[in-house]
């Protein structure tokens, strides 16, 4: 069968460096760090006292008070990001078949804050089982997709993808595949996360996975730097509207870029550590190129997973060299997590948004906070350290890798 073309027609986000996609992109190309002291709870007893929280967030700006109380913050972020993306896509809802419009939304964890609050209240009330009737529908990871579909009356495929830090890349790939197979015309897709909570910070501290650079939070996320000591957790969400090409053209949609390919693999190595030679990472980039029917020399930019962890930051560049060979030295590559922090299940969608904007503007967002490159990393690779660069970008590849060995990559290319 002839596969349909898929294009990007809407963008939306809320995160630590912006409350919308315009503000986010402006700060990204300026190299702004979103890290700062935790305000969501008293972190004084924790090893890590900072994160990339959404700054100055007031739910009542977006929701009525009774509604906000029924929504975990990860769902609030989902609705906010999706609403911006849908408005950006500029739909005439009378001309959309709601049975062919769907929502695939990701979260690596879901309602962690809600779960913690309910358990604490249960214990503090002498184990009296008086749980909030909204406990379960606030907590479950799929509920954000449900809320978005209800809001827009999108009655097509509607579900969640959960694969740790690869979650929202998987949501994008699923949406892309369903559209190109002719199963739907439109998807609102992406991911959201709210893990800057006592349980989130405490759990990642116990794993020794996150930075403890409390004296200098803004430089704590330092991918590929020899002094890195873990990633920085970020909150927020990001959404893309993916649309079948002819459907978009027929309604006169603004087209940002074309979604060209997606790939998924498993490391089959370790529950939290990547394969040291980047085996799964290399394979997922290879199958993504095959899916897009593109060759390595057609890629100009890679948005790396680049989390600022000891093992991952060494394995991923090895995988890039394995896949791209000599062309790797012609690539511009960067880790935008150096600015936004790591949004866990939402990170793939935010980095897809960054890749779309890089193609549209020709700006390569930087990898900030490089002080001294790890000698185990090839210094001839262009990591776009500390300063934005401008170049034509024909196509961008974006990587996301999750605990459990889940790997996902996507390719977005200039629309022609």
- Residues annotated as catalytic are 165, 305, 342
**According to the 3-state scheme, what is the secondary structure of the chain?**
CCCCCEEEEEEEEEECCECCHHHHHHHHHHCCCCCEECCCCCCCCCCCCEEECCCCCCHHHCCCHHHHHCCCHHHHHHHHHHHHHHHHHCCCHHHCCHHHEEEEEECCCCCHHHHHHHHHHHHHCCCCCCCCCCHHHHHCCCHHHHHHHHHHCCCCCEEEECECECHHHHHHHHHHHHHHCCCCCEEEEEEEECCCCHHHHHHHHHHCCECCCCCCHHHCCCCCECCCCCECEECEEEEEEEEEHHHHHHCCCCCCEEEEEEEEEECCCCCCCCCCCCHHHHHHHHHHHHHHCCCHHHCCEEECCCCCCCCHHHHHHHHHHHHHHHHHHHCEEECCHHHHCECHHHHHHHHHHHHHHHHHHCEECCECCCCCECCCCCCCCECCECCCEECCCCEEEEEEEECCCEEEEEEEECCC
Burial class of residue 93, CB neighbours in 10 A (0-12, 13-18, 19+): exposed
The residue among 367, 413, 415, 405 whose CA lies nearest residue 166 is 405
Q: How far apart are CA 400 and CA 415, in angstroms?
A: 23
Measured distance CA(338)–CA(307) in Å, rounded: 8
Q: Are 368 and 338 in contact (CB under 8 A)?
A: yes
């Amino acid at each position: 069968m002839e596969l349909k073309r898929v294009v990007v027609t809407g963008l939306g986000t809320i995160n630590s460096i912006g409350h919308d996609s315009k503000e986010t992109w402006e700060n990204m190309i300026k190299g702004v760090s979103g890290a700062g002291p935790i305000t969501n709870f008293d972190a004084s007893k924790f090893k890590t006292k900072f994160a990339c929280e959404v700054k100055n967030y007031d739910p009542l700006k977006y929701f009525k008070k009774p509604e906000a109380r029924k929504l975990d913050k990860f769902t609030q972020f989902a609705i906010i990001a999706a609403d911006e993306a849908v408005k950006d896509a500029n739909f005439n809802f009378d001309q959309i078949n709601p049975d062919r419009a769907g929502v695939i939304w990701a979260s690596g964890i879901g309602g962690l804050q809600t779960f913690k609050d309910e358990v604490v209240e249960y214990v503090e009330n002498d184990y009296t089982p008086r749980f909030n009737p909204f406990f379960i529908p606030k907590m479950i990871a799929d509920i954000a997709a449900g809320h978005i579909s209800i809001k827009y009356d999108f009655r097509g495929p509607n579900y969640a993808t959960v694969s740790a830090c690869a979650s929202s890349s998987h949501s994008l790939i699923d949406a892309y595949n369903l559209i190109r197979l002719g199963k739907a015309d439109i998807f609102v897709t992406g991911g959201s996360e709210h893990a800057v909570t006592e349980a989130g910070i405490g759990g990642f501290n116990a794993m020794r996975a996150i930075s403890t650079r409390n004296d200098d939070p803004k430089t704590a996320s330092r991918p590929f730097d020899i002094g890195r000591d873990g990633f920085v957790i970020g909150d927020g969400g990001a959404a893309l509207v993916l649309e079948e090409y002819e459907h978009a053209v027929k309604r006169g949609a603004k087209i940002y870029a074309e979604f060209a390919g997606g790939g998924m693999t498993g490391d089959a190595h370790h529950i939290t550590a990547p394969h040291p030679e980047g085996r799964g990472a290399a394979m997922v980039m290879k199958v993504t190129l095959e899916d897009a029917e593109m060759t390595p020399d057609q890629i100009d930019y890679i948005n790396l997973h680049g989390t600022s962890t000891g093992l991952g930051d060494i394995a991923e560049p090895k995988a890039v060299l394995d896949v791209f060979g000599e062309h790797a030295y012609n690539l511009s590559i960067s880790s935008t997590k150096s600015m936004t922090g790591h949004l866990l299940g939402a990170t793939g969608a935010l980095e897809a948004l960054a890749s779309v904007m890089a193609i549209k503007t020709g700006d390569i967002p930087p990898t900030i906070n490089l002080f001294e490159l790890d000698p185990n990393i090839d210094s001839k690779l262009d990591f776009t350290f500390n300063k934005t660069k401008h170049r034509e970008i024909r196509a961008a590849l974006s990587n996301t890798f999750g605990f459990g060995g889940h790997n996902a990559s996507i390719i977005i290319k200039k629309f022609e």
